């Protein structure tokens, strides 16, 4: 229970937006902590400050017309020395603190436009080229490390110079009712959770230039619900920093809009484990991607490692009750990352690497409308493996399916899934390559009279039932590859297909069984 409240005005904080109030605010925090904790209160005003250190049992509470403004001078942000690069500088930090909170109806504004990305900027042409250290000397807004019982509620967080809210190795966190706007610079992430446990995030509005919710290194028992999200990069990103365990993560009841860089990205390329993750009741409006899962290795920036990292585990993931429209390309703001070629005509993609499978993935109650525009030759493009490449969703370029591309996947179910088209596309709706234990139940998809609706390459143990094209198509199913076997078609509505099934590229004569 809070024992007392201290006003920063009592410690000579001016709140005039000109005087530097760092010392006065920090003195208030220290005095509050020395008296067994309580509330440090910010009355209406503009409090200009450099780095503040939050102490255990202390709540910073900003009144409705109070603004905490980050200094525009780097000298007011000491190097915290806890890590390199992005994580050296921040406005509000805490380390090994318990029972801490940021609350109220006020604003924390990092004034991040004062810290440009760097004279050389980023090399957008070469994703393997790491930016220089100077590029990253840009303070974050909030950085909590190894803290327990953390609350952030009610506030508006905006204009960090880099990441907005970086939470590392924290436990028992509640983030509620936060309005986060972070598009003043580059690397403008929203919430970054690194190896955190027991996290509840709800009722937030996040509008940012980089990943909105980024889960890194590991994380267990995390819930994100009832949020509005718009971003240049991913709305939800798990990995690619992923050497530990991600487990028991539930994301639900969110609206994602005008999001470019793929709405949902799950990337395991550092030998860790990702499992037991669910996405339910989402609306995706004008997004690219919209969903990408990648299992692979990674050599690092500029191939800095002598060999690939070990291949990890990516399994037991469910996507349910998702509605949305997919954008035809990325549309970033002028100062954000330009569109990459592979962001055009994007589709859902799940890709492992040869010998290592993404496992047990379910899509249920999904209805997506794709933009179209794919040419016939796009449907037959060669997709490289890129085992050790940085695992962005666009690395393969335009993929051979307009709706979903699966490669090196074992145990995948599509149940009551609908793929619509806003305009003509000559690619199949679904392409599967080296997939085992596939079930398509009540799949409905738009197609074309010049192409097959579905293509299975080297697919084993597949069950297609209750499926149907939504318009006239030339071919319902194309089966390719000598490894194909045990593909059962049962009770599908093929009245709008000119041909039911063809075998090619060495597919055995008995690979497909058709039952009426």
pLDDT tens digits, 451-464: 999 999 999 999 99
Cα–Cα distance, 172 to 167 (Å, whole number): 11
On whether residue 105 sits in a domain, the answer given is yes
Element (H, E) at 466: none
Rounded average pLDDT over 41-63:
98
C-alpha distances in angstroms, 155 versus 77, 160, 228?
22, 14, 15
Q: Check whether 123 has a pLDDT greater than 60.
A: no
Cα–Cα distance, 149 to 99 (Å, whole number): 5
Cβ atoms of 369 and 422 closer than 8 Å: yes
Give the three-class secondary structure for 269: coil
Q: How many domains does the chain have?
A: 1
Per the prediction, the chain carries an average pLDDT of 93
pLDDT of residue 88: 75
Per-residue pLDDT band for 127 (boundaries 50, 70, 90) equals very low
Give the three-class secondary structure for 292: strand
Where b means 16+ CB within 10 Å and e means fewer, 309-330 reads bebbbbbbbbbbbbebbbbbeb
pLDDT of residue 186: 87
Element (H, E) at 132: none
Q: What is the pLDDT of residues 200-259, one digit of tens each?
A: 999 999 999 999 999 999 999 999 999 999 999 999 999 999 999 999 999 999 999 999
Tokens matching residue 176: 């509620």
On whether residue 69 sits in a domain, the answer given is yes
Per-residue pLDDT band for 304 (boundaries 50, 70, 90) equals confident
pLDDT of residue 126: 44
C-alpha distances in angstroms, 222 versus 97, 120, 191, 195, 319?
20, 37, 13, 11, 16
Q: Using the 8-state DSSP alphabet, how is residue 26 labeled?
A: H
Compare 108 and 305 and report the one with higher pLDDT.
108
On whether residue 189 sits in a domain, the answer given is no
Give the three-class secondary structure for 381: coil
pLDDT of residue 83: 54
Q: What is the pLDDT of residues 351-376, one digit of tens each?
A: 999 999 999 999 999 999 999 999 99
Please provide residue 135's backbone torsions phi and psi, each rounded to the nearest 5 degrees: -60, -30
pLDDT of residue 81: 73
pLDDT of residue 82: 62
Note every long-range contact of 188-192, with CB atoms under 8 Å and residues 24 or more positions apart, other chains counting.
188/112, 188/160, 188/162, 188/163, 188/164, 189/162, 189/163, 189/164, 189/214, 190/164, 190/165, 190/214, 190/231, 191/164, 191/165, 191/167, 192/163, 192/165, 192/166, 192/167, 192/216
Cα–Cα distance, 369 to 287 (Å, whole number): 11
Rounded average pLDDT over 76-84:
77
- Tell me the Cα Rg of the chain: 25
Cβ atoms of 245 and 317 closer than 8 Å: no
On whether residue 31 sits in a domain, the answer given is yes
Whose CA is closest to 439, among 501, 379, 367, 490?
A: 490
Note every long-range contact of 113-122, with CB atoms under 8 Å and residues 24 or more positions apart, other chains counting.
113/159, 113/161, 113/184, 113/185, 114/72, 114/161, 115/72, 115/74, 115/139, 115/161, 115/162, 115/185, 116/185, 117/185, 117/186, 117/187, 122/186, 122/337
Q: What is the pLDDT of residues 338-357, one digit of tens each?
A: 999 999 999 999 999 999 99
Rounded average pLDDT over 315-322:
98
pLDDT of residue 128: 46
C-alpha distances in angstroms, 145 versus 54, 62, 169, 194, 363?
11, 22, 6, 9, 36
Rounded average pLDDT over 407-431:
98
Cβ atoms of 161 and 138 closer than 8 Å: yes
On whether residue 126 sits in a domain, the answer given is yes
On whether residue 21 sits in a domain, the answer given is yes
Q: Check whether 87 has a pLDDT greater than 60.
A: no
CA 286 from chain centre, in angstroms, equals 16
Cα–Cα distance, 88 to 109 (Å, whole number): 18
Q: What is the CATH number of the domain that holds 164?
A: 2.160.20.10
- In 3-state terms the chain splits into helix, strand, coil percentages (rounded to 5) of 10, 50, 45
User: Any bridge partners for residue 215, and if so which?
Assistant: 193, 238
User: Any bridge partners for residue 400, and if so which?
Assistant: none
Q: Using the 8-state DSSP alphabet, how is residue 30 labeled?
A: H
CA atoms lying within 13 Å on the CB side of residue 206: 36
On whether residue 19 sits in a domain, the answer given is yes
Whose CA is closest to 262, among 392, 406, 369?
A: 392
Q: Using the 8-state DSSP alphabet, how is residue 88 labeled?
A: G
Range of the domain at 79: 1-168
On whether residue 316 sits in a domain, the answer given is no
pLDDT of residue 118: 56
Tokens matching residue 195: 């190896």
Q: Check whether 3 has a pLDDT greater than 80.
A: no
């Amino acid at each position: 229970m809070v024992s007392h409240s201290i006003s920063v005005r009592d410690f000579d904080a001016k709140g005039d937006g000109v005087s530097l109030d760092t010392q006065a605010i920090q003195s208030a925090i220290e005095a509050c902590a020395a008296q067994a904790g309580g509330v440090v209160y910010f009355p209406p005003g503009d409090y200009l400050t450099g780095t503040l250190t939050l102490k255990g049992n202390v709540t910073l509470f900003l009144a409705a017309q109070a603004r905490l403004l980050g200094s525009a001078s780097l000298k007011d942000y000491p190097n915290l020395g806890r890590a390199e690069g992005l994580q050296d500088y921040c406005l509000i930090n805490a380390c090994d603190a318990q029972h801490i909170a940021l609350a109220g109806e006020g604003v924390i504004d990092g004034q991040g436009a004062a810290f440009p990305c760097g004279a050389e900027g980023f090399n957008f042409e070469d994703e393997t080229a790491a930016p220089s250290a100077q590029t990253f000397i840009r303070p974050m807004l909030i950085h909590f490390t190894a803290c327990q019982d953390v609350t952030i509620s009610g506030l508006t967080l905006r204009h960090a110079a880099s990441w907005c809210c970086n939470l590392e190795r924290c436990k028992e966190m509640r983030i509620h009712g936060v309005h986060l706007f972070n598009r003043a610079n580059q690397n403008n992430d929203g919430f970054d959770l690194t190896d955190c446990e027991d996290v509840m995030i709800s009722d937030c509005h996040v509008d940012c230039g980089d990943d909105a919710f980024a889960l890194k290194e590991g994380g267990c028992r995390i819930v994100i619900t009832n949020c509005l999200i718009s971003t240049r990069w991913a709305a939800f990103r798990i990995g690619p920093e992923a050497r530990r365990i991600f487990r028991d993560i539930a994301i639900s009841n969110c609206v994602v809009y005008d999001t470019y860089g793929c709405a949902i990205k799950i990337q395991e390329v550092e030998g860790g484990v990702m499992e037991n993750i669910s996405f339910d009741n989402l609306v995706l409006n004008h997004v690219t991607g919209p969903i990408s899962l990648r299992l692979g290795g990674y050599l690092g920036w500029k191939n800095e490692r002598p060999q690939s990292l070990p291949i990890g585990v990516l399994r037991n993931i469910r996507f349910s009750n998702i509605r949305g429209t997919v954008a035809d390309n990325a549309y970033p703001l002028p100062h954000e990352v330009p569109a990459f070629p592979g962001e055009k005509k994007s589709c859902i993609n799940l890709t492992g690497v040869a010998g290592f499978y993404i496992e047990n993935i379910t899509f249920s109650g999904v209805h997506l409308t794709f933009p179209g525009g794919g040419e016939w030759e796009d449907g037959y493009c060669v997709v490289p493996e890129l085992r050790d490449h940085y695992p962005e969703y666009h690395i393969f370029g335009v993929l051979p399916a307009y709706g979903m591309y699966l490669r090196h996947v074992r145990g995948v179910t599509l149940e009551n899934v609908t793929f619509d088209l806003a305009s003509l596309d000559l690619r199949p709706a679904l392409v599967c390559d080296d997939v085992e234990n596939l079930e398509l139940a009540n799949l409905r998809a738009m197609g074309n009279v010049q192409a097959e609706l579905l293509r299975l390459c080297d697919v084993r143990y597949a069950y297609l039932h209750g499926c149907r094209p939504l318009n006239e198509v030339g071919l319902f199913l194309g089966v390719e590859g000598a490894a194909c076997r045990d593909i059962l078609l049962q009770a599908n509505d093929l009245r709008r297909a000119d041909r039911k099934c063809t075998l090619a590229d060495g597919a055995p004569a008995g690979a497909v069984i058709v039952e009426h």
